[in-house]
A and B are shown apart, each in its own frame.
Chain A
Amino acid sequence: MWKPDKYRITQLNPANIVIIYLLIGFLWILFSDRLLDQAIDDPAVLTRFQTLKGWFYVIVTGLLLFVLIQGHSSRITRMRSEFFERFDLYRTLLEQGSQVVIQMEGRQKFSYTNSAFKEILGYDDNELQQMDDFEGIIHPVDKDRFFEIKTACGEDQKSQEPLRKQIRIRHKELGWRWYQMILTDKRRFEHIESRLLLVRDIHDETILYEQLKESQQRFEHLFRDAPVGYHSFGPDFKFIDVNRAELELLGYEREELIGHKTWADVIVQEELPDFENHKKELMEKGRVWNRLYTIVRKNGTRRSVILNARAFFDDHDCIRYTLGNITDITERVKAQEQIRRLNESLEEKVRQRTRDLEKANQELEQTNRKLDQTNLELEHANLQLEQANKALETINMELETRNRELKLANKELESFAYSVSHDLRAPLRGIDGFSQALLDMYETKLDDRGAGYLKRVRLASQRMGMLIDDLLELSRISRTTMNMEQVDLAAICREILSGLREREPDRNVEFIVPDELVVTGDAGLLRIAMQNLLDNAWKFSSTCDPAVIETGIVSPGDVNTEGGGSTFFVRDNGVGFNMKYHDKLFMAFQRLHTHDAFPGSGIGLATVQRIIHRHSGTIWADSTENEGAIFYFNLTDKSV
């Protein structure tokens, strides 16, 4: 340490030396002459002694001066050497130190910088000389602070405290780094008033500090906002900090807890021994895990919590503070309790059920015995059944054989129908054709009777052709595949009736047909059926004037409705028939009228019946002779 007093020359400075000299001289002159005058009366001796006294004085003061000056100068020499030693020390400190020292003359000039400049900021002497100022390497955000320093450099008055600023400067290699700039008071160095600007690298500590601050903030955030309760206790286990979640859990205000309550104040009395135990463990192991407590909230309600805590010790191994967290497990505990109760009741139920089952088992055994008996009987019955089944199988096989035979017969019938169509018609054509040829070519050789016979031959063969055609139609109807669709019977009837009217326009016939009679069926087959029914109606009403032909649907409730579906009818007011013969009505080739009166093959109604049957329907008729006939039919119950 620099101690300036040590070097202050208080005893021997030139002024002191002169004063001492003058003081001694004055005292000498004042007292030596008087002493000589009293001691020596002889003037000659006195003069001699006067001279000796003069020499003595000169020698003594000379010696005194030497001693004084010698002391003074040796002190100066010693001081000088000490000063240079000191100077060396400070110079070394200045040059080798870890901070940049810059001597500022006024606002601009760096009159001196130490060599640490390169080490700390990375710029060498040449770059430093070109730079002349920091402004180019100051971080834009920190420029304002730098200008404060610059302004302070130019000011004259002394400030009490040195000016300190944290400023980012661009290091030549490391980029932006934090530095502390310290501007000292104005001082006089080497005859010039100047200030010193110190620049210290504080980057690492700044960053460290920032990180520490951030970490602390994070911890605080975690502590404050965590959904579990966090607290810190002092050495006496009084609350020193508590977070929001724990406050909510305990039901107290922060001020009521901190510095006032201990953990013992918020738990139930019965658990105080647990808490003592807890404190001991904390002292010994530094932490406690998963302690169960029942806390009493401010409003008196209780909650179950789990507590975890860790203690932090001072140098004397005394607890400095603890950090702990608590989790509310009340619902969990309740659920467990409920499960335990359920389990208990379940066990009781199981016992009851076991008893029931045992009883049921006994009953079952009895039943089993009975069942065995029944089984025996059943086996016996089974044997009988098997025998019956065998017999049934035999019958089934026979049935299958019959079925095959029937199919074969059907096929034969088809080929028969085919040959009828071709082979039977060819000779008929011959009979008819040659009869005509006879009539044409041998007209003159035949009398009227002969010609008449020939005409009858022709009529007969033509009628047979018609019969064959109708028969074929009948067999065709049984064989064609049905194409089910929505069919409007009324529209079909209107077409057929208008065709009939065209054929015999002179007849006076009234038609009554509803607007619509929609059924589900095969359009082609239904048309054939309606054609036959209406042909008949037309034919058998030919003697009436006016004739009335009506088609329609029988109103529900009528005696003639049958089955679930609608019943349709075709009515005429013609000759009708005798109900005595109604069973022959739908049989092929059965006729209730002579051919001369009403020509026909006798197959039409058989065809109609077959078509209705193919639609799973039925047809029947009602009539009174000479009052007309009515034909009823229904199709499947799918019809409208």
Chain B
Amino acid sequence: MLVEDNQDDIDLTIMALEKSNILNDVIVAKDGEQALQKLNGLEDDDPPILPAVILLDINMPKMNGLEVLREIRSNDRTRRLPVVILTSSREEQDIIRGYDLGANSYIRKPVDFDNFVQAVKQLGLYWLVLNEPVE
């Protein structure tokens, strides 16, 4: 699942995933509220979902990424989900708070697309292939 408000970043991330030959389904939420609704199955009639990994941006309208992370961690069903913060911010404050709230990883998006593709490829490989999630 990708939680990201910037359409450019959404497209670039999906492009990077495709370039890295990672073919898993990508569920996109455009803000924090939508992300929680999708996770808990409150939007329309969709059932609640448990993605293999959540890629979470911090700076978003309405509910920001750190608030989303707190909600995920406070819910019994979702609190063991792997959450990777994927953001432009390199503020120490954000990194510390992210880890404090239980982020599994913190990745800063590089400007250079080639580097970005590399990062997304490693992320996908690690969380979707190597990592053993809770069933």
Q: Do they bind each other?
A: yes
Interface of A toward B, CB cutoff 8 Å: 418, 421-423, 425-430, 432-437, 458, 461-462, 464-465, 469, 472, 476
Residue pair A437, B8 in contact (C-beta under 8 Å): no
Q: Closest B-chain residue to A424, C-beta based?
A: B88
Q: Does B15 contact A (CB under 8 A)?
A: yes
Residue pair A418, B89 in contact (C-beta under 8 Å): yes
Q: Taking A433-B8, A434-B12 as given, write out 17 further A-B residue pairs in contact, using a Cβ cutoff of 8 Å, ordered by the A residue number.
A: A418-B89, A421-B90, A422-B58, A422-B87, A429-B110, A430-B6, A430-B8, A432-B113, A433-B12, A433-B15, A433-B16, A433-B113, A434-B8, A435-B113, A464-B111, A469-B90, A472-B90
Residue of B15, B92, B109, B114 touching A425 (CB-CB under 8 A): B109
Q: Closest B-chain residue to A429, C-beta based?
A: B111
Q: Mark B21-35, 1 if CB is under 8 A from A, else 0.
A: 000000000000000
Residue pair A429, B114 in contact (C-beta under 8 Å): no
Residues of A close to B6: CB separation below 8 A: 426, 430
A-B contact pairs, 21 of them (CB 8 A): A418-B89, A421-B89, A421-B90, A422-B58, A422-B87, A422-B89, A426-B8, A426-B9, A427-B8, A429-B8, A429-B12, A433-B12, A433-B16, A433-B113, A433-B116, A436-B113, A458-B112, A462-B111, A465-B111, A465-B112, A476-B92
Question: Given that A426-B9, A430-B8, A430-B9 are known contacts, is A418 also in contact with B113, CB under 8 Å in the complex?
Answer: no
Q: Does B91 contact A (CB under 8 A)?
A: yes
Residue pair A429, B109 in contact (C-beta under 8 Å): yes
Question: Given that A458-B113, A465-B112 are known contacts, is A429 also in contact with B90, CB under 8 Å in the complex?
Answer: no
Residue pair B90, A437 in contact (C-beta under 8 Å): no
Q: Does B78 contact A (CB under 8 A)?
A: no
The distance in angstroms between the C-alpha atoms of A432 and B89, with both chains bound, is: 18
Residues of B close to A433: CB separation below 8 A: 8, 12, 15-16, 113, 116
The 4 closest A-B pairs by CB, nearest first: A465-B111, A430-B8, A433-B12, A433-B113
Q: Closest B-chain residue to A418, C-beta based?
A: B91
Residues of B close to A458: CB separation below 8 A: 112-113
Residue of B16, B59, B112 touching A462 (CB-CB under 8 A): B112
Residue of A428, A434, A476 touching B111 (CB-CB under 8 A): A428
Residues of B close to A421: CB separation below 8 A: 88-91
The number of chain B residues with a CB under 8 A from chain A is 21
Residue pair B88, A436 in contact (C-beta under 8 Å): no
Q: Mark B1-16, 1 if CB is under 8 A from A, else 0.
A: 0000010110010011
Q: Mark B89-115, 1 if CB is under 8 A from A, else 0.
A: 111100000000000000001111110
Q: Closest B-chain residue to A459, C-beta based?
A: B112
The distance in angstroms between the C-alpha atoms of A422 and B6, with both chains bound, is: 12
Residue pair A429, B113 in contact (C-beta under 8 Å): yes
Residues of A close to B9: CB separation below 8 A: 426, 429-430
Residues of A close to B58: CB separation below 8 A: 422
Residue pair A425, B113 in contact (C-beta under 8 Å): no
Nearest CB on A from B55, distance (A):
15
The distance in angstroms between the C-alpha atoms of A51 and B116, with both chains bound, is: 209
Nearest CB on B from A442, distance (A):
14
Q: Closest B-chain residue to A463, C-beta based?
A: B111
Residues of A close to B114: CB separation below 8 A: 436
Residue pair B89, A437 in contact (C-beta under 8 Å): no
Question: Given that A422-B59, A426-B8, A437-B15 are known contacts, is A432 also in contact with B87, CB under 8 Å in the complex?
Answer: no
Question: Given that A437-B15, A462-B111, A465-B111 are known contacts, is A429 also in contact with B88, CB under 8 Å in the complex?
Answer: yes
Residue pair B88, A422 in contact (C-beta under 8 Å): yes
The distance in angstroms between the C-alpha atoms of A430 and B7, with both chains bound, is: 10
Q: Closest B-chain residue to A427, C-beta based?
A: B8
Nearest CB on B from A108, distance (A):
118
Residues of B close to A429: CB separation below 8 A: 8-9, 12, 88, 109-111, 113, 116
Nearest CB on B from A468, distance (A):
8
Residues of B close to A462: CB separation below 8 A: 111-112
The distance in angstroms between the C-alpha atoms of A435 and B111, with both chains bound, is: 12
Residues of B close to A435: CB separation below 8 A: 113
Nearest CB on B from A480, distance (A):
8
Residue pair A461, B111 in contact (C-beta under 8 Å): yes
Q: Which of B62-88 contact A (CB under 8 A)?
A: 87-88
Q: Closest B-chain residue to A430, C-beta based?
A: B8
Residues of B close to A430: CB separation below 8 A: 6, 8-9, 12
Residues of B close to A465: CB separation below 8 A: 110-112
The distance in angstroms between the C-alpha atoms of A421 and B111, with both chains bound, is: 11
Residue of B59, B90, B92, B111 touching A432 (CB-CB under 8 A): B111
Nearest CB on A from B10, distance (A):
11
Q: Mark B112-135, 1 if CB is under 8 A from A, else 0.
A: 111010000000000000000000
Q: Closest A-chain residue to B15, C-beta based?
A: A437
Residues of B close to A437: CB separation below 8 A: 15, 113
Q: Which of B12-63 contact A (CB under 8 A)?
A: 12, 15-16, 58-59
The distance in angstroms between the C-alpha atoms of A437 and B16, with both chains bound, is: 10
Residues of B close to A418: CB separation below 8 A: 89, 91
The distance in angstroms between the C-alpha atoms of A437 and B117, with both chains bound, is: 11
The distance in angstroms between the C-alpha atoms of A436 and B8, with both chains bound, is: 13
Residues of B close to A472: CB separation below 8 A: 90
The distance in angstroms between the C-alpha atoms of A230 and B4, with both chains bound, is: 118
Nearest CB on A from B73, distance (A):
23
Residues of A close to B16: CB separation below 8 A: 433
The distance in angstroms between the C-alpha atoms of A143 and B113, with both chains bound, is: 131
Residue pair A432, B88 in contact (C-beta under 8 Å): no
Residues of A close to B8: CB separation below 8 A: 426-427, 429-430, 433-434
Residues of B close to A423: CB separation below 8 A: 59, 88
Residue pair A426, B88 in contact (C-beta under 8 Å): yes
Q: Closest A-chain residue to B8, C-beta based?
A: A430
The distance in angstroms between the C-alpha atoms of A435 and B92, with both chains bound, is: 31
Nearest CB on B from A441, distance (A):
9
Residues of B close to A464: CB separation below 8 A: 111
The distance in angstroms between the C-alpha atoms of A476 and B92, with both chains bound, is: 10
Residues of A close to B92: CB separation below 8 A: 476
Question: Counting chain B CB atoms within 10 Å of each CB, which of A423, A426, A428, A458 scores highest?
Answer: A426
Nearest CB on A from B16, distance (A):
8
Nearest CB on B from A473, distance (A):
9
Nearest CB on B from A475, distance (A):
11
